[in-house]
């Protein structure tokens, strides 16, 4: 008989069933002997993961097994609120930087950018995204918890030359939704790259940190919400992402890949 708790890439079939919200499959696997509380995926056993999902009573939890912490329970509630607030955001080709704890004005100062004296909505309608000069323009918007830097047509907000400056003394999550290869993420703390070539909204890897596994479950298929949540931004709608931003900035000429 096959081992129902056999692991592949650090997870069992039961873990996959819980992650994919196939709860009937999960019940069948438990009936066949699978262990919901078997440790895996940086502390997120199938049972612990289910506590963050739509059926927290999917499995019987033994008295000696801890439930979600207060912070984890709050993150579950925030995920529901944030995904509803953002809705279904079309993000193909979008560049984004979510920065904790700084304002749009501070972002402009750190980037040494010039504020464009234009109507934000009209500028968004008039700019040619295929013009090479358009790469110099980014939008920035104040949101609860920090600010969002965006470029609807390009990758510049996620480049190290932008995110390193923005992350001084704080955390920044960068995102570029590459039309060819999908969502590409990065994490920067205090000017240092601590995560690169990530895949926000995608399945977690075996060696991911606990928070990354947790957020991968909460924000499946939603790279924008994942990026905002990682930086602790609590957007109330999608305007900071889809535009128009509070203000448009012109970046100075420099090599933004350094």
Separation of alpha carbons 116 and 250, rounded Å: 7
Separation of alpha carbons 138 and 135, rounded Å: 8
Separation of alpha carbons 146 and 233, rounded Å: 6
The angle formed by the CA atoms of residues 177, 71 and 173, to the nearest 5 degrees, is 25
Q: What is the pLDDT along the chain (258 residues), one digit of tens a residue?
A: 479 999 999 999 999 999 999 999 999 999 999 999 999 999 999 999 999 999 999 999 999 999 999 999 999 999 999 999 999 998 899 999 999 999 999 999 999 999 998 888 888 888 888 888 889 999 999 999 999 999 999 999 999 999 999 999 999 999 999 988 889 999 999 999 999 999 999 999 999 999 999 999 999 999 999 999 999 999 999 999 999 999 999 999 999 998
Token representation of residue 235: 């957007």
Tell me, what's the pLDDT at 1? 44
Of the candidates 14, 4, 253, 246, the residue with the CA atom closest to the CA atom of residue 140: 246
Each domain of the chain, given as residue ranges in start order, spans 7-68, 83-250
CB-based contacts of 186, cutoff 8 Å, min separation 6: 158, 160, 163, 173, 174, 175, 193, 195, 196, 197, 198
Separation of alpha carbons 174 and 164, rounded Å: 10
């Amino acid at each position: 008989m096959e081992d129902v708790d056999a692991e592949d890439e650090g997870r069992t079939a039961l873990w996959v069933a819980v992650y994919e919200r196939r709860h009937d499959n999960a019940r069948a696997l438990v009936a066949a002997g699978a262990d919901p509380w078997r440790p895996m995926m940086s502390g997120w056993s199938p049972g612990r993961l289910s506590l963050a999902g739509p059926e927290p009573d999917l499995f019987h939890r033994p008295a000696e097994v801890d439930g979600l912490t207060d912070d984890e329970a709050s993150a579950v509630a925030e995920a529901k609120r944030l995904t509803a607030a953002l809705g279904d955001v079309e993000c193909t080709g979008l560049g984004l930087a979510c920065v904790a704890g700084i304002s749009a004005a501070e972002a402009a100062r750190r980037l040494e950018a010039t504020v464009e004296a234009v109507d934000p909505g009209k500028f968004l309608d008039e700019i040619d995204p295929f013009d090479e000069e358009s790469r110099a323009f980014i939008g920035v918007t104040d949101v609860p918890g920090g600010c969002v830097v965006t470029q609807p047509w390009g990758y510049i907000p996620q480049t190290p030359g932008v995110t390193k400056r923005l992350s001084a003394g704080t955390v920044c999550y960068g995102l570029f939704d590459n039309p060819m290869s999908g969502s590409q993420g990065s994490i920067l703390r205090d000017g240092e790259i601590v995560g690169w070539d990530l895949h926000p909204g995608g399945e977690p890897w075996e060696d991911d940190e606990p928070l990354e596994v947790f957020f991968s479950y909460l924000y499946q298929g939603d790279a924008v919400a994942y990026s905002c949540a990682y930086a602790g931004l609590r957007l109330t709608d999608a305007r900071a992402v889809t535009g128009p931003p509070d203000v448009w900035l012109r970046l100075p000429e420099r090599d933004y890949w350094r």
